[in-house]
Amino acid sequence: MGLTLTEKILRAHLVDGEPIKGQEIGIRIDQTLTQDATGTMAYLEFEAMGVPRVRTERSVAYIDHNTLQNGFENADDHRFIGSVAKKHGIHFSRPGNGICHQVHLERYGIPGKTLIGSDSHTPTGGGIGMIAIGAGGLDVAVAMGGGAYYITYPQVVKVNLTGKLSPWVAAKDVILEVLRRLSVKGGVGKVIEYCGEGVKTLSVPERATITNMGAELGATTSIFPSDEITKQFLEAQGRGEVWSEQSADPDAVYDEVVDINLSELVPLAACPHSPDNVKSCEEIGKLKIDQVCIGSCTNSSLLDMMKVAHILKGKTVHPDVSLSIAPGSKQVLNMMADMGLLSIMIAAGARILESACGPCIGMGQSPNSGGISLRTFNRNFLGRSGTKDGQIYLVSPELAAISAVTGYLTDPREIGEMPEFVLPEKFTVNDNMIALPASEDEAADVEILRGPNIKPYPETAPLEASIEAPVSLKVEDNITTDHIMPAGAKILPLRSNIPAISQHCFTVCDEAFPTRAKELGKSIIVGGSNYGQGSSREHAALAPLYLGIKAVLVKSFARIHRANLVNAGILPLTFVNEADYDAISQGDVLELADIRAKVEAGETQFTVLNKTTGKEIPVLCELTGRTKDIMLAGGLLDYTRENLK
Ligand code: MIC
Ligand code: SF4
């Protein structure tokens, strides 16, 4: 029986476990990436492990999230990360060099290799045939130290692409269509593999848009084959030598098949406040808009910018609209300047931002009150833009650009004839904003620059014999990490300061939560399904840890967040009967009797007693050998320290 591409790469990297669907496996990691908002913590954890030099083939630290230096904090963090990188053998992509995923695709990604990154959109690398997975910072730190990365051996979904996109219909519409069909939880436990004749019609940047936003499906990752088009892209980047062909066997067997005829797709938009709330332009109608933002790791490639410039040429941004554009990398920005695209955009009235995440993570450009904003980004969760009642629609760059001119949500097919957009044969390669690490001999002399904002990892403790604690918060379905640990320009600078950032934990849902939880000393959170969807930020586990959360009991978890809870030593529990969610109220006291002994004995199902109502509630706590030991030790850091001894 033939193998899928996913299985081939995973099997070639298998270091622990059996390749059986649903079972945990450990894989060897060839490359890692971090960004600054998760990186400070990841490097503090890496330092705590005491490994002098990274043991991967390539590790890169990017500065792209916290680039608004409104106070000393972010600049201090950049210097800290830069110095750690220099000392420990890590390439350092300096602020201004671009968004981690865009730059990694351009300069570092290699088909057939494994990559984990402390950012949920790491699957962008799947656009060139890598198994690229988003993970918590601690998992990335362990991988930098040479440790395996653990995932559930996934089911593989084949997305069979046929046909060819019609003019002005974009790669963004492909992933929006997949989201419309599968939903934000449709990819949990799965890898999405793109196959079929239609693959050949998509360039690497288009493929990367699709794998990038596969994160919104909750999927482990998404992947395209590596073919002649991949080869051309890598050659144009001056990296042709790293190319290899990567594809599934012709007789590969998939767990599910989704057929998409590219020719039938139309321009789409994800409406507020979820990436799977997808509608066509026709269904939405003539919506008046206030803002347009073009950029983010989903849509900031040179190809995207070529299309945007073509649409803006000779036009003026509508008087009621603010248009901002953030090119994905220094390479993109530089080439835009050389090709004259930048001056077209400036002339049209676009506000050009630096090559960074920017508005995507609420670092500036928050819309006006109740403002309607079209963005080429990947997430439109409530409040993420920085404006609580902002209405964010996720769209293609083509749709965004034409709408910025007309002032309302416009079907880009109204533009008329579309020229052929051809990527240049050679990209401008200039890696002068990547600082190389010190040699092994010089590394000892490199001083780590630690600013006052950098506080240590919160205290952990081995799993207690029994837990009795009140429910400090009860929340509904689809809680995102932006609810648990909001981002934005005001809060992000506290990413390396857990005591300070904890004061913002869950404040989107309940302003009083941090104070209440801290006063209770220890407590439990109850939630609905797909709890923790969205980002990889381990702060969504570390802040609850600091606030004394001992367990989280929900209908179901999102993959990365569940792993982050385990890594932080917080028990992840799920209801056996989802209806029992209604049998617990905020304030009820729950008891998990003899929990340590039960976990130690490998029991995965036990009862939680609601001491307030007297009801016994069956719950699952599926911890396998390794995750069980992590939980008993009080988290991955303690476990790794013990195992490194
Ligand atoms: C995001 O898009 O939500 C982020 C900001 O890139 C996060 C990482 C973080 O919170 O630092 C992600 O996607 O993992
Ligand atoms: Fe940055 Fe936005 Fe991409 Fe996250 S989704 S890495 S914030 S551009």
d(CA 346, CA 313): 10
Average pLDDT of the chain, as a whole number: 97
Over 80: is that where the pLDDT of 211 sits? Answer: yes
State yes or no: pLDDT of 645 exceeds 70: no
pLDDT band at 644 (very low <50, low <70, confident <90, very high): low
| pLDDT (tens digit per residue) in 52-93 | 999 999 999 999 999 999 999 999 999 999 999 999 999 999
Coil, strand or helix at 311: helix
> Best mutation site among 120, 382, 494, 560 for ligand 1, i.e. most ligand atoms within 8 A of its Cβ?
120
Which residue is listed with tokens 């797909």? 530
Cβ(543) to ligand 2 under 6 A?
no
Euclidean distance between CA atoms 293 and 102, whole angstroms: 17
pLDDT at position 642 is: 76
What is the number of the ligand closest to the CA of 136?
1
To test the pocket of ligand 1, the residue of 102, 299, 481, 564 to mutate (highest count of ligand atoms within 8 Å of its CB) is 481
Which atom number of ligand 1 is nearest to the Cα of residue 121? 13
Which pLDDT value is given to residue 457? Answer: 86
Determine the average pLDDT of the residues in 601-623: 97
537 within ligand 1 shell (Cβ under 6 A): yes
Provide DSSP, 351-372. Answer: EE--SS-GGGGTSS-PPPTT-E
pLDDT computed for residue 552 by the predictor: 98
Q: What is the pLDDT of residues 15-27, one digit of tens each?
A: 999 999 999 999 9
What is the structure's pLDDT at 624? Answer: 84
How many Å apart are CA 636 and CA 645, to the nearest integer?
14
What is the mean predicted confidence (pLDDT) over 557-570?
A: 97
Report whether pLDDT(350) > 60. Answer: yes
Query: Can you tell me the distance from the alpha carbon of 184 to that of 217, in angstroms, rounded to the nearest whole number?
Result: 4
Instruction: Determine the pLDDT at residue 321.
Output: 98
Ligand 1 atom with the smallest distance to the CA of 384 is 3
Three-class SS state of 5: helix
Could you tell me the distance, in angstroms and rounded to a whole number, from the CA of residue 569 to the centre of ligand 2? 27
Mean pLDDT across 521-529: 98
pLDDT at 233 over 80: yes
The residue nearest atom 3 of ligand 2, judged by CA position, is: 297
- d(CA 596, ligand 1 centre) in Å: 33
Residues 106, 33: Cα–Cα separation, whole Å: 14
pLDDT at 640: 85
Treating both helix axes as pointing N-terminal to C-terminal, what angle do 559-567 and 625-633 enclose, rounded to 10 degrees?
50
Query: What pLDDT is recorded for position 147?
Result: 95
CB contact at 8 A, 198 and 262: yes
Q: Can you give the pLDDT at residue 514? A: 98
The answer, yes or no, to whether any atom of ligand 2 lies below 6 A from the CB of 296, is: yes
pLDDT at 443 > cutoff 70 = yes
Closest residue to atom 6 of ligand 1, CA basis: 119
Banded model confidence at residue 111, pLDDT cuts 50, 70, 90: very high
pTM score > 0.85 for this model? Answer: yes
Q: How far is CA 165 from CA 102, 161, 309, 418, in A?
A: 23, 10, 20, 12
Contacts of 227 (CB under 8 A, 6+ apart): 199, 200, 245, 247
Q: In the predicted model, what is the mean pLDDT of residues 599-628?
A: 95
Residues 376 and 269: their CA atoms lie apart, in Å, by 10
Ligand 1: does its nearest atom lie under 6 Å from the Cβ of 494?
Answer: no
The side-by-side arrangement of strands in the sheet containing 155-162 is 221-223, 190-195, 155-162, 256-261
| CA-nearest residue, atom 2 of ligand 2 | 360
pLDDT of residue 531: 98
The two structure tokens encoding residue 354: 């630096």
Q: What pLDDT was estimated at residue 459?
A: 85
pLDDT digit string, tens, across residues 132-154: 999 999 999 999 999 999 999 99
pLDDT digit string, tens, across residues 237-282: 999 999 999 999 999 999 999 999 999 999 999 999 999 999 999 9
